[in-house]
A and B are shown apart, each in its own frame.
Chain A
Amino acid sequence: MNVGRDLPKLVAPLAIGAFALLPGAGLPAFYDSFLYLVFFWVSLATSWALLSGFAGYFSLGHAAFFGVGLYTTAVMAAKFDVPFLLTLPAAMIIPALLAIGIGAIVFRLRRLRGELFALLTLAVTFVIATIILNTPIDGGGGIFMSAVPLPSLMPTPTGTLYVLGLAICVATLATAWKVGHSRLGMGLFAIHDDEDVAEAKGVPTFRFKLAAFALSAAIAGIVGGVHAMFVGFITVSGTFDLTVPLYVVLMSVLGGSRSWFGPAIGAVVITSLLYSFSGGSEAIMGRAIVGVVLIIAILWLPDGVVPELRKRLKRWSSTTAPASVEVAPVVVPARPIGDRHVLEARGVTKRFGGLLALAGVDLDVKEGEIVGLVGPNGSGKTTLINVISGHYPLSSGTIAVDGLQLGTLPAYQIARRGVARTYQIPRPFTNMSALENVVAAASFGGPPRGSREIHDEALHWLAFTGLAGKEDVLPAGLNLHERKFLELARALAAKPKLLLLDEVLSGLNPAEVANAIRLVRAIRAQGATIVFVEHLMRAVVELSDRVAVLNEGRLFALGAPREVMRDPRVVSIYLGKAYAA
């Protein structure tokens, strides 16, 4: 981890300095132009990865933003005589605005993920290309840039383009590094793994995706702007063909698209390969050899070069003794149940089309109280949790947490107001270690605090849930029991006012259940307010202060556990439905 953080800081200035001095070093100008193309692809592939690699929103439309940037510069410089350098800010801003415009619509629709997003971006590319082709922007004749003066930043024009390409490339890599190590990056990685969970943990997914999209488009745009001068003669078919989207994908996949540095590696490898067989006699065989090399590379490094190397590095370094974690347990004396209502639900109704999942539920939960939520399958328990946590918008009714009306707040806002939840089937962020999972939840869900503090707290909650020593393990390496506890650790790390637990005990064996019950008691001892859905009656009776019974979307009974469970009406719905089922 530290190597990953500190090495770039050391190497980067040296590398940048060396590259910046290169045009003066007397190398043939070809190397300027070859390296320019390397920078070009590094910048494009890295910018693509900002959204598509980090957040997993796979785009086939990178050519749209690249092309809009390119045409912005071309039109301004060639048709309106704007000095070339002054066109570059516009070549950034216009594609970024386009991305924000597209994102503002698309990112509101949850279904437009995965391949549908890829399709949409592809379609947008076709539409933009056709518009440019058929309007005076291009009109079909192409734009010839020969009359546009290139500022002499360097002795030669190619040197100037080289320096511009280098500057953009460095800025792009710096941006990717910064994003990858920031809150934004953490949020994007969480979105990549499970967007709904990310939102429920407090990640402002919509804004983050929009920011990543705009950033990605802005970089692609300015790369296009400079490239307009490099190509010299601009045509729609040469700009918007599938080369750009295809190559950025291939480069990122080869290098590792979730790593800030991966796409750069892929870009360097593929660009160099394309140039290595440019000789006239071996051109065709050369193409085939490039294909073979790429196949071999990806078969042996299926997750991409950088992640595979990292994995190997880790395996190599982890032979040293695993760091043991010692965190003093935080002992908080048990508090009595207060008078304040942490949760006030009034007439909570949720419709799915014609189906009434919740039909006006009223429920108050006091501070420090544990309320068990029971009822037969389909009675609306999980829906209630989904509605409180903001996953589904309310159809009607009101919900207040700690006196604050939730209204139509998005889920991440609700999470930040102190509502944390777990999932019946654990939904950890699969590409993050256990520690990173908890850190992410703590960073976005809890009150703002320093990263050191968050880190320590995360270690504390992992230890609290018995996961000490598993900090660096990926969720796939945990068993179901441990993953359930990781869910709890994530929820607790957000320091929630209200904790919603969805069937924490299901699927556990008796020993694990006993362990889990002890854990929930410990949580309660810390004074948390808990609503938990549970089928296991022994646990419900042992843990709850009050039990709420839901049936067919209505609150059927509410009271002390033993009384409610003895209520003949409750027994009848339970025996009649749940037990029979």
Chain B
Amino acid sequence: MPSVTLLGQALISGVLAGGMYGLLAMGLSLSWGLLRLVNLSHFALAFLSAYAVYELGTTWHVAPWWSAALVVPAMFCIGAAQHWLFDKFRVNELASLLVTFSFAVILEAGIQLYWTADFRRYETAYATRSIKAGPFFIPVLELMLCLVAGALAWGTWVWLTKTYVGKALRASAEDAEIAAAYGVNHRKLAYLLSGIGAGYAGIAGTFIALIATLAPSEIWTWLGVVFAVVIIGRLGNPLGALLAGLLIGASQSVAMAIFSPAWAPVVSFSMLIVVLLWDPEWI
């Protein structure tokens, strides 16, 4: 039986790794849940942001936080521009899969053309710092990621549930016609939401640049697990997406600490299947 230190450390690492799933899932969850658009290019946008942060950092020596200040608004514009296309051509939920998949393929090719397929690593001082808490170590960057993701998720949740604009958005998602009858300008709000979703990709990308080594095909790495996280967290619910991310991350990690690490997906996804079938109140 593994020691308490090991389990505790695995739990901490897992929760923090899950922050990345959650952060990536949030943007996807918003557009899927509230606009009924499944944006497969979300991952590609995140990696494009990561490459941009890498380029700014290595070539121009811009600090990653300043790069983020450039990249996130740029992503917002890309997200809004994407929505212009969806809106103009009245892309439905299924067609959005194909359109955004194609976007992702184009972005992947573009990244490979400019940055080549070889690995790119943005070495910074942040990458491997940890805080020591008793017998446990808490990596600073991942902690920061989780805090940022938490703040974003909380802020977005408050915005969606407490403000007029947010409520209007959710009302439009339930029934666009009725919401329109109450004077909700769904189309304008949709641009805002798409932009925000892509902005999240920008934030996720900044952290990816700092945490990961980049390669164009890495775009597809998190697709499966993040899809699962989006749905577990309930579509359109950023807080749910983040919590689901943390949960999957933690369960995988603890499973890796106890069993053979290769068995970990069985543990977390069997758990997910059981939860789906059992359907407890809290989910």
Assembled-state Cα–Cα distance A119/B268 (Å): 13
Q: Does A284 contact B (CB under 8 A)?
A: yes
- Residues of B contacting A292 with CB < 8 Å? 102, 106
Assembled-state Cα–Cα distance A58/B114 (Å): 36
Contact of B265 among A60, A116, A127, A254 (CB under 8 A): A127
Contact at A131–B101, with CB atoms within 8 Å?
no
Contact at A250–B103, with CB atoms within 8 Å?
no
Contact at B109–A105, with CB atoms within 8 Å?
no
Interface members, chain B 226-280 (any A CB < 8 Å): 227-228, 231-232, 235, 260, 262-266, 269-270, 272-273, 276-277, 279
Q: Does A395 contact B (CB under 8 A)?
A: no
Assembled-state Cα–Cα distance A285/B106 (Å): 9
Contact at A294–B102, with CB atoms within 8 Å?
yes
Assembled-state Cα–Cα distance A109/B109 (Å): 42
Contact at A123–B273, with CB atoms within 8 Å?
yes
- Residues of B contacting A120 with CB < 8 Å? 273, 276
Closest-by-CB residue of B relative to A58 is B94
Assembled-state Cα–Cα distance A299/B235 (Å): 25
Contact at B102–A134, with CB atoms within 8 Å?
no
Contact at B269–A242, with CB atoms within 8 Å?
no
Q: Does B137 contact A (CB under 8 A)?
A: no
Contact at A288–B106, with CB atoms within 8 Å?
yes
- Residues of B contacting A253 with CB < 8 Å? 94-95, 97-98
Interface members, chain A 108-133 (any B CB < 8 Å): 109, 111-112, 115-116, 118-120, 122-124, 126-127, 129-131, 133
Q: Does A302 contact B (CB under 8 A)?
A: yes
Q: Does A287 contact B (CB under 8 A)?
A: yes
Contact of B98 among A119, A131, A254, A285 (CB under 8 A): A254
Produce 1/0 per residue, A230-273, CB < 8 A to B.
00000000000010001001100110010000000000000000
Question: What is the distance, in angstroms, from B95's C-beta to the closest C-beta of chain A?
Answer: 5
Question: What is the distance, in angstroms, from A293's C-beta to the closest C-beta of chain B?
Answer: 8
Assembled-state Cα–Cα distance A118/B38 (Å): 13
- Residues of B contacting A111 with CB < 8 Å? 279
Q: Does A334 contact B (CB under 8 A)?
A: no
Q: Does A291 contact B (CB under 8 A)?
A: yes
Contact at A112–B94, with CB atoms within 8 Å?
no
Q: Does A290 contact B (CB under 8 A)?
A: yes
Q: Does B112 contact A (CB under 8 A)?
A: yes
Produce 1/0 per residue, B98-133, CB < 8 A to A.
110111111011101100000000000000000000
Per the CB 8 Å criterion, the residue count for chain B at the interface is: 43
Q: Does B138 contact A (CB under 8 A)?
A: no
Contact at B109–A287, with CB atoms within 8 Å?
yes
Query: Interface with A: B13-21, B60-68, B83-91, which one?
Result: B83-91
Contact at A299–B273, with CB atoms within 8 Å?
no
Q: Does A578 contact B (CB under 8 A)?
A: no
Assembled-state Cα–Cα distance A290/B104 (Å): 11
Contact at B235–A291, with CB atoms within 8 Å?
no
Question: What is the distance, in angstroms, from A394's C-beta to the closest C-beta of chain B?
Answer: 22
Contact at A134–B223, with CB atoms within 8 Å?
no
- Residues of A contacting B266 with CB < 8 Å? 126-127, 130-131, 134
Contact at B94–A119, with CB atoms within 8 Å?
no
Closest-by-CB residue of B relative to A301 is B95
Assembled-state Cα–Cα distance A116/B95 (Å): 19
Question: What is the distance, in angstroms, from B94's C-beta to the closest C-beta of chain A?
Answer: 5
Contact of A257 among B94, B232, B264, B265 (CB under 8 A): B94
Q: Does B92 contact A (CB under 8 A)?
A: yes
Contact at B99–A295, with CB atoms within 8 Å?
yes
Q: Does A101 contact B (CB under 8 A)?
A: no
Assembled-state Cα–Cα distance A287/B112 (Å): 10
Contact at A123–B89, with CB atoms within 8 Å?
no
- Residues of A contacting B183 with CB < 8 Å? none
Given A119-B228, A298-B98: A284 touches B112 (CB 8 Å cut-off): yes
Assembled-state Cα–Cα distance A118/B112 (Å): 31
Assembled-state Cα–Cα distance A126/B228 (Å): 11
- Residues of A contacting B228 with CB < 8 Å? 119, 122-123
Assembled-state Cα–Cα distance A398/B110 (Å): 67
Q: Does B2 contact A (CB under 8 A)?
A: no
Contact at B220–A242, with CB atoms within 8 Å?
yes
Contact at A250–B109, with CB atoms within 8 Å?
no
Q: Does A507 contact B (CB under 8 A)?
A: no
Contact of B105 among A126, A257, A287 (CB under 8 A): A287
Q: Does B224 contact A (CB under 8 A)?
A: yes
Contact at B231–A116, with CB atoms within 8 Å?
yes
Contact at B269–A295, with CB atoms within 8 Å?
no
Q: Does A140 contact B (CB under 8 A)?
A: yes
Given A119-B276, A130-B266, A288-B106: A302 touches B224 (CB 8 Å cut-off): no
Contact at A250–B231, with CB atoms within 8 Å?
no
Contact at A112–B276, with CB atoms within 8 Å?
yes
Contact at A284–B109, with CB atoms within 8 Å?
yes
Given A242-B220, A299-B85, A302-B89: A284 touches B113 (CB 8 Å cut-off): yes
Question: What is the distance, in angstroms, from B98's C-beta to the closest C-beta of chain A?
Answer: 5
Given A112-B276, A116-B231, A299-B85: A291 touches B97 (CB 8 Å cut-off): no
Question: What is the distance, in angstroms, from A130's C-beta to the closest C-beta of chain B?
Answer: 4
- Residues of A contacting B98 with CB < 8 Å? 250, 253-254, 294-295, 298
Given A246-B101, A298-B99, A302-B91: A60 touches B227 (CB 8 Å cut-off): yes
Given A109-B277, A119-B231, A253-B95: A290 touches B105 (CB 8 Å cut-off): yes
Closest-by-CB residue of B relative to A111 is B279
Question: What is the distance, in angstroms, from A241's C-beta to the closest C-beta of chain B?
Answer: 9
Closest-by-CB residue of A relative to B264 is A130
Contact at B227–A122, with CB atoms within 8 Å?
yes
Assembled-state Cα–Cα distance A510/B168 (Å): 34
Contact at A295–B108, with CB atoms within 8 Å?
no
Contact of B273 among A115, A118, A124, A290 (CB under 8 A): A124
Contact at A287–B108, with CB atoms within 8 Å?
yes
Interface centre among B108, B269, B270 (most CB of A within 10 A): B269
Question: What is the distance, in angstroms, from B253's C-beta to the closest C-beta of chain A?
Answer: 16
- Residues of A contacting B85 with CB < 8 Å? 299
Assembled-state Cα–Cα distance A130/B263 (Å): 6
Closest-by-CB residue of A relative to B224 is A242
Contact at B106–A291, with CB atoms within 8 Å?
yes
Contact at A116–B105, with CB atoms within 8 Å?
no
Question: What is the distance, in angstroms, from B58's C-beta to the closest C-beta of chain A?
Answer: 22
- Starting from the known contacts A109-B279, A112-B276, A126-B265, 20 additional A-B residue pairs (CB-CB under 8 Å) come to A106-B277, A115-B32, A127-B265, A127-B266, A127-B270, A127-B273, A130-B269, A133-B262, A285-B109, A287-B105, A288-B113, A291-B102, A291-B103, A291-B104, A291-B105, A291-B106, A294-B105, A295-B99, A299-B99, A303-B92
Which A residues form the contact surface with B (CB < 8 A)? 60, 105-106, 109, 111-112, 115-116, 118-120, 122-124, 126-127, 129-131, 133-134, 140, 242, 246, 249-250, 253-254, 257, 284-285, 287-288, 290-292, 294-295, 298-299, 302-303
Query: What are the 8 A-B residue pairs with the smallest beta carbon separation, nearest first?
Result: A288-B109, A291-B106, A291-B105, A119-B231, A291-B102, A287-B109, A294-B102, A123-B269
29 contacts between A and B (CB under 8 A): A105-B277, A106-B277, A109-B277, A111-B279, A112-B277, A115-B235, A119-B228, A119-B272, A120-B273, A120-B276, A122-B228, A123-B269, A123-B276, A127-B265, A127-B270, A130-B262, A130-B266, A246-B101, A284-B112, A284-B113, A287-B105, A288-B106, A291-B102, A291-B103, A291-B105, A291-B109, A298-B91, A299-B99, A302-B92
